[in-house]
Amino acid sequence: MTRGFLSQLTLTVFTLLTIACAAPVTDREATEPTDDSAATRTVQPDPREIHLGELRMLTDGGENAEAYFSYDSQRLIFQSTRPPFGCDQIFHSAVGGGPQELVSTGTGRTTCAYYYPDGEHILYASTHLGMTDCPPKPDHSRGYVWPLYESFDIFRSKTDGSELMQLTETPGYDAEATISPRGDLIVFTSVRDGDLDIYTMRLNGSEVTRLTDELGYDGGPFFSPDGTKIVYRASHPTDPDEVEDYQSLLASGLIRPSKLEVWIMDSDGNNKQQVTDLGVAAFGPFFHPSGEKIIFSSNHGDPAGREFELFMVDLDGSNLEQITFSEGFDGFPMWAPDGKTFVFCSNRHNSNTGETNIFVTEWVE
């Protein structure tokens, strides 16, 4: 499928907005990635990207996103749309490059993979119990929306994909799951109580606890390095027309993700605090290793809303700093547990215009 650069960029940016631990939906055809051994190459960051060292490009081809580190900082697990799969499946590989191994079932649509602290298990969400094919794309007649596939459930498996175990069984959307560095809790997003809220559960799926209850979307949660706090993205409509739009879409299994802010709370749901007030899309937040700052992706500063860059901010919303300066999309930032190695996904240096690939670097303070 061929497209002009502008239409490709627009579609890619808004597609990626939806997949910070949510199901990506795209109409473009993914190309076959290059040979794994040849994919890894080094490129230089923009001179203004003072926090980024030399970049290692780990993928080249397909749509690759949400790359998250193992607890020993040696491996990455990520979702990718690439032939022969029509929608995202889960792969993992070494941080330094090499073979990219399929670890999901190869059926349905998957998202939001994460390593368990023991290094022997992984977590991800999948629709494969509802249907083996990719679920249908959403109807955009109501504007840009993304679907909350009711067949999404959260699963645990060995790192090779074996011994698959279903952790959530309630009707409706369960996804966007990550794990505390303390190794005791999974945090995730669910519609089980009629709204999109954040919950925790034990590593085996037991002891589910609801953390948010304000009308609107709360999701994409990650724990702080010490496990005491959770950062997440949220949209809480108050205008009657916006409330009606949100509830109408939710009843149809849809959500409009154009305005999201960064929030934090204690790991038990107390002390909720809004961090950003940008009035645009702020998503994919992750704590700085110090626990005192948050990095996130946003189209802040672009009147057209198409350019997404990484920004960093203090927990009180002050000292907003732009981190990346690259045309197109930069998002899904994460530091490895070693506090130095950094990963993000970007449209930069692609062999095919509009594709998204994984980049690893050493963070520079």
Per-residue pLDDT reduced to its tens digit, 163-194: 999 999 999 999 999 999 999 999 999 999 99
The confidence score (pLDDT) of residue 258 equals 85
The confidence score (pLDDT) of residue 40 equals 78
Phi, psi at residue 47, to the nearest 5°? -55, -25
Write down how long the chain is.
Answer: 365
User: Rounded distance, CA 341 to CA 302, Å?
Assistant: 29
Instruction: Give buried/exposed letters for 138-152 (b at 16+ CB in 10 A, else e).
Output: beeeeeebbbbbebb
Cβ atoms of residues 25 and 146 within 8 Å: yes
What are the residue ranges in the chain where pLDDT is below 70? 1-39
- The residue with tokens 């992750």 is 286
3-state secondary structure of 140: helix
3-state secondary structure of 5: helix
> What DSSP string runs through 36-68?
HHHH-EEEPPPTT-TTB-SEEE---SSEEEEEE
User: Rounded distance, CA 79 to CA 59, Å?
Assistant: 11
Query: Of 78, 58, 57, which Cα lies nearest the Cα of 67?
Result: 78
List domains and CATH numbers for the chain.
Answer: 5-362 (2.120.10.30)
User: Rounded distance, CA 202 to CA 119, Å?
Assistant: 17
The confidence score (pLDDT) of residue 115 equals 98
Q: What is the pTM of this model?
A: 0.91
Query: Of 56, 90, 51, 67, which Cα lies nearest the Cα of 284?
Result: 67
Cβ atoms of residues 21 and 112 within 8 Å: yes
